[in-house]
Structure 1
Amino acid sequence: MPIDTIEIDDAQVAAVLALREGHFSDMKSKAVGPAKLTKALSAFANADGGELYIGIDEHDGVFSWRGFPDEEAANGHIQIFDQLFPLGDGFKYEFLSSSSQPGVVLHVIVLRSGSIRKASDGRIYVRRGAASQRLETTAQIDQLERDKGITTFESETVNSPLDTITNSETTIEFMLEAFPLSEPDRWMQMQRVIVSGKPTVAGLLLYSDLPQAELPKRSSVKLYRYKTSDAEGRRETLDGQPATIEGPLYNQIRDAVQLTAKLVESIGKLGDEGLTSVTYPQETLHEIITNALIHRDYGIADDVHIRVFDNRIEVESPGRLAGHVSPENILDERFARNGSIVRLINKFPDPPNKDVGEGLNTAFDAMKKLQLKEPIIVELNHSVMVNIRHEKLASPEQMIMDYLRLNLEITNRIVRGLSGIGSENKVKTIFQGLMRRGQIERVPEKKGNLAAYRLTEAGRRSLEEYGGN
């Protein structure tokens, strides 16, 4: 099967060289042995897919184009790759050439594999951020096998006309911006959002102007405003009619965030200076709504529901957490149920999932900075609920005392991590106040950057008397 050679212009060359090694991309010199490169291919296939560019040199963080002299010079690489990953079975190859650059770059597009892929050393690798990590234990491999057994609705084909995605306004705008020299049909076939002449669910969600026409009851966002702080919203507390947010996924995420923020601003809260608007960090709303839409289970016939209460926002997403992710480890672990959606929406300008795998951490950190409590993530029978509360954290003084109730000492860094306070000097002032009140004291042998504080006898008695409250 011949491999196409694609001529690209200087702007596209600059875009390739501007890429950085990450969860979805890797840049390698042609001098790197093909057997070693199979580790990256194995890692991409066993994770969410990705793209490998061979013929790009790196020196001190600067990438430069130094491709193969011609296509035949890459035969050794392709032969090794084909032995492990047969052409057309989850991998697509093409050469990139430019009149202004030396040689051709081999571009390997790796799709998320339905089976486990091993590198030429017989080992199994998984992509984690910018690294290809080898799975060492039987438990890790068993977990990967279970993950690979999970099917995803995003790859299902739909009996819709191809021009629903190949000739939509969304696609025309996207292709002109990101891939101006490519034809939509060919590009979408390579990305596997067109399969057997039909668009996939992922293709419709990303590139149709109105995916909801083809995927009703499973691709909209419903936005509600309840004028209550009760545990549940009721018809009598519902303010007006729920809003329905539709459109391609990229636009839908943007519109859902903007409309939710606007609705929240209409909530008044009585403060020291009278009635003020309730505010939530924009980063928190953006990241949690983005996660709800790109990681939901599109096989479940339900919409994403956003409920705005007087004291909180609830974001409910169809489908339980995928793979090994749980509410307890969700900030540290990642699993993309919809690998194609996650990867391809990242190609849009100013993508909603810029920091792949870090979005929820950003959301939690933004809440801390405003001294608000962290969101609560709850797994229900058929959905995941994120509760974003408008409740203040305990005072920094109370956090310090509560921490010392269970630990021997505390440092400035620990307090900043607990409270979201960014200033060391502000934390020092809080320590000084507690010392003046006789609640804590410096640990004598720890000074400078190692300075730490511990409870005094008076501080211990206070905790015993008031139970840490």
Structure 2
Amino acid sequence: MSVKQIIMSIQVEKINSTQVNQILSSEESHFLDLKSIDIKPAKLSHSISAFANASGGELYIGIDEVETDGVKQRIWRGFSDQEAANGHLQIFEDLFPLGQDYNYIFLSCDDCVGLVLQVNINKTREIVKASDNTVYLRRSAQNLPQKTEEKLARLRLDKGIESFEKSTVDADLESIINSLPLINFMRCVIPSAKPENWLKKQQLIINGKPTVAGILLFDEEPQALLPKRCGIKIYRYKTADAEGSRENLAFDPITIEGCLYEQIITSVNKTKEIVEEIPKLEGGKLKHIKYPDEVLHEIITNAVLHRDYSILKDVQIRIFDNRIEIESPGRLPGHITVSNILREQFARNGTIVRLINKFPEAPNKDVGEGLNTAFQAMTRLRLKVPIITENENSVLVYIRHEPLASIESVIMEYLDTHDTITNKIAREIASVSSESTIKAAFNRLRKQGLIELVPGTKTVTSAWRKVR
């Protein structure tokens, strides 16, 4: 498709002055950049490369920044027409020849001059170079060139193009060939095979040396060969503060070691044991906190299997009075982002994920579905779903000891800003699948004189509104 054909296919969306002001007042950040139409396409490619190689981002082209009496302000000055954006659109076609990983739209406003091009750039599986053949990476509001081999190697690991699990370790092969974890595992291998031959076939021994994956899966004590990068630390802080401190540690941190299979089982059981000792006041009575079994299991398993083992840091489980934090070293791999992590799949450590699934009572039974299972389990018990955030060098999952608002509260809050509500809408916003559960909530609110049926709506499409 030619650039002219692309231009003709781009939608023009009219926005209001409030939305314009929202754009003009936005702060440039890790996920947002504002550019003038005067920017050279080659310079624009720096931002495109940076967003694609980081977490993706949003780009507005057609916003000037002017300074008057030392005060900076932004002004909307868009393209005179769609074809005036030819050069800028061509750079996207050059950097993304398959036409994927980005989408754009023209924005117009009756009170503003010209069309602003709004571009959404997705995080890519591959490394994207700018037109100057340099790789850029978005950090805060900067596009940082990645020119050294060390920085490029780090980026390849972050994006999952290369995996540390395939690296070899200068260690005696006996550490895995005759280990107890491998002996137990080989009993389940079909057809039967000699341990060393099987390990070579699975690429866990390369050039006469064990790989990182082989050590992690089958060494009895991988922490001795890979110190500070493959254990689990559990902390219990007797506080609900944003951060824990040495003063509110309930006991010395617990270190979980051993092969990955044993680490997962032990850390899940220990975390569950500690959490269920936390008292919580509910209905005037002290009760113990309890999560669905699959929640802790799936989130801890995910943190162990998908972490970046090239980073010198252990997985950390921090248990507070009001939440659990599970921190996994390494950024989200490949094209995975916080917003698509429940829909998309990408295994940084493909060998580890595949082989640990062959263990008896495999911790990752439904490969790729672990986090979804945890979220669904929390929703079923009407608990707030976990929050996932990505930091500079880690992924953090927050599991909160908090119930969702009652269904009735969710319905009334929705009616504060909407005229009517249906059973279908109520099920979606209250995270409830049962029509009868929502119907019962509607009836309770009607008995309290808070809502009424909208006259003229049929049984199947019944709508409710606040009593007038």
Counterparts in 2 of 1:182 and 1:443: CA distance versus 1, 3 Å: farther
From 357, 361, 381, give the equivalent of 2:368.
357
Counterparts in 2 of 1:176 and 1:442: CA distance versus 1, 3 Å: farther
From 76, 80, 99, give the equivalent of 1:138.
99
- The answer on 1:447 being equivalent to 2:408 is no
In the alignment, what sits opposite 2:355?
Answer: 344
The answer as to whether partners of 1:220 and 1:244 remain within 8 angstroms in 2 is: yes
Alignment of structure 1 residues 276-425 onto 2, 5 Å: 276-405=287-416, 409-425=420-436
Deviation at 1:404? 4.2
Alignment of structure 1 residues 136-215 onto 2, 5 Å: 137-139=98-100, 143-146=124-127, 150-179=161-190, 181-215=192-226
- The answer on 1:434 being equivalent to 2:453 is no
In the alignment, what sits opposite 2:237?
Answer: 226
Q: Deviations over 1:369-428 (max 9, x none)?
A: 222111111111111111100112111112123334556654434434443445432221
Percent identity between the two aligned chains: 52
Counterparts in 2 of 1:352 and 1:412: CA distance versus 1, 3 Å: farther
Deviation at 1:433? 1.9
TM-score, length-scaled by structure 1? 0.64
TM-score, length-scaled by structure 2? 0.64
Counterparts in 2 of 1:167 and 1:144: CA distance versus 1, 3 Å: same
Q: Distance in 1 between matches of 2:443 and 2:297?
A: 38
Report the residue type matching 1:439 in the other structure: I
The answer as to whether partners of 2:347 and 2:353 remain within 8 angstroms in 1 is: yes
Report the residue type matching 1:392 in the other structure: P
Q: Distance in 2 between matches of 1:379 and 1:439?
A: 41
- Indicate the SS of the match to 2:287: strand
The answer as to whether partners of 1:327 and 1:379 remain within 8 angstroms in 2 is: yes
Q: Distance in 2 between matches of 1:439 and 1:357?
A: 42
The answer as to whether partners of 1:365 and 1:420 remain within 8 angstroms in 2 is: no
Q: Deviations over 1:120-143 (max 9, x none)?
A: xxxxxxxxxxxxxxxx95326994
Deviation at 1:207? 1.0
In the alignment, what sits opposite 1:259?
Answer: 270
- Indicate the SS of the match to 2:440: helix
Alignment of structure 1 residues 31-110 onto 2, 5 Å: none
Deviation at 1:290? 0.6
Q: Deviations over 1:304-333 (max 9, x none)?
A: 000010110000110111111111111112
Counterparts in 2 of 1:207 and 1:413: CA distance versus 1, 3 Å: farther
Counterparts in 2 of 1:328 and 1:369: CA distance versus 1, 3 Å: same
In the alignment, what sits opposite 2:16?
Answer: none
The answer as to whether partners of 2:421 and 2:465 remain within 8 angstroms in 1 is: no
Q: Deviations over 1:73-100 (max 9, x none)?
A: xxxxxxxxxxxxxxxxxxxxxxxxxxxx
Report the residue type matching 2:225 in the other structure: E
Q: Deviations over 1:222-245 (max 9, x none)?
A: 001000111110111001110000
- Indicate the SS of the match to 2:170: coil
Counterparts in 2 of 1:398 and 1:271: CA distance versus 1, 3 Å: closer
Counterparts in 2 of 1:258 and 1:454: CA distance versus 1, 3 Å: same
Q: Distance in 2 between matches of 1:238 and 1:257?
A: 20
The answer as to whether partners of 2:164 and 2:309 remain within 8 angstroms in 1 is: yes
In the alignment, what sits opposite 1:26?
Answer: none
Q: Deviations over 1:342-380 (max 9, x none)?
A: 111111122111112211111111111222111111111
Deviation at 1:150? 2.3
- Indicate the SS of the match to 1:334: coil
Q: Distance in 2 between matches of 1:250 and 1:439?
A: 53
The answer as to whether partners of 1:321 and 1:384 remain within 8 angstroms in 2 is: yes
Q: Distance in 2 between matches of 1:156 and 1:347?
A: 22
Report the residue type matching 1:453 in the other structure: A
- Indicate the SS of the match to 2:187: helix
Report the residue type matching 2:384 in the other structure: K
Alignment of structure 1 residues 243-258 onto 2, 5 Å: 243-258=254-269
In the alignment, what sits opposite 2:42?
Answer: none
Report the residue type matching 2:375 in the other structure: F
Deviation at 1:443? 7.2
The answer as to whether partners of 1:443 and 1:452 remain within 8 angstroms in 2 is: no
Q: CA RMSD in A?
A: 2.4
With 395-404 and 263-272 compared, the bigger mean Cα shift is at 395-404
Report the residue type matching 1:195 in the other structure: I
Q: Distance in 2 between matches of 1:446 and 1:330?
A: 39
Report the residue type matching 2:100 in the other structure: A
With 362-371 and 155-164 compared, the bigger mean Cα shift is at 362-371
Q: Distance in 1 between matches of 2:457 and 2:262?
A: 57
Runs of 5+ unmatched residues, structure 2? 1-96, 103-122, 128-155
